[in-house]
Amino acid sequence: MVSENVGIALGLTLLAGLSTGIGSAIAYFIKRPKIVYLAFALGLSGGVMIYISFMEMLPEAMETMGEKWALLVFFLGIGVMALIDLLIPEPENPHNFDDMDTPRVAHGSHKLMRTGVFTALAIGVHNFPEGLATFAATLSDVKLGAFIAIAIAIHNIPEGIAVSVPIFYATGSRKKAFLYSFLSGASEPVGAIIGYLVLMPFLSPAVLAGTLAFVAGIMIYIALDELLPTAHRYGHGHLVIGGIVLGMFIMAASLLMI
């Protein structure tokens, strides 16, 4: 079953990663994106990821490899994401989407170009473990992987905006802006492929369970450190919590029907 899911896992990871291109489309083909709707979607995505991590992935890992080892690997996943954050300078950190609305800086700004390029690199680093998350979850359960892919895809949309807006206003080129946004998302399928090549020779129920625990830690960090703060920045508090609860409810209902 695991080998049969490899193609589906790579496809879902590719779909999630390249959704950064949707952010570019929103930025340049819609005059004024409704950020409040995006905030609700980010809350929904965060609710899905939190519910999946604590109610599906971590319990499954505990059942296979034991509670102590599963929790150790879970917190290791959180630690890895925290380390990546520490290694990326704050101005280029993709959590900051303060310039999602129309920038007030003219074309040709070297500072804007630098910001856009470094944001693309930073997002690429962050997307790498997200690709592993989608891939590993799909190997375990295709439906679970699909939900994770959708959640990550929603969360990648504002990242695409964050990359493409400054590059467009620095160069005046929609093509360059879209290309950088596309490349930043491409690191997700790369993460999946590398994860597959590394894990496949050693793949066993215990290794897959450990990967799920590790990925659960990554997803909790992404939800709490990226999705929800960004959602609150651009939306009303009640709207965001509504999205979170709805995301959890959708996941709970769908898992009951499996």
Extract the annotated binding site. 127, 130, 155-156, 159, 188
Q: Are 22 and 157 in contact (CB under 8 A)?
A: yes
Look at residues 51, 45, 59 and name the one whose alpha carbon lies nearest to residue 213: 59
Query: Is 104 in a helix, a strand, or coil?
Result: coil
Kindly report the CA angle at 244 between 158 and 57, in degrees rounded to 5?
A: 95
Kindly report the CA angle at 72 between 209 and 94, in degrees rounded to 5?
A: 90
Distance CA 48, CA 148 (A): 8
**Residue stretches of the annotated binding site for Fe(2+):** 127, 130, 156, 159, 188
**Residue stretches of the annotated binding site for Zn(2+):** 130, 155, 159
Look at residues 72, 217, 45, 67 and name the one whose alpha carbon lies nearest to residue 136: 217
Q: Are 135 and 192 in contact (CB under 8 A)?
A: yes
Phi-psi region of 109 (alpha: psi -120 to 50; beta: other; left: phi over 0): beta
Integer angstrom CA distances of residue 26 from 10, 13, 164, 184, 241: 25, 21, 10, 17, 24
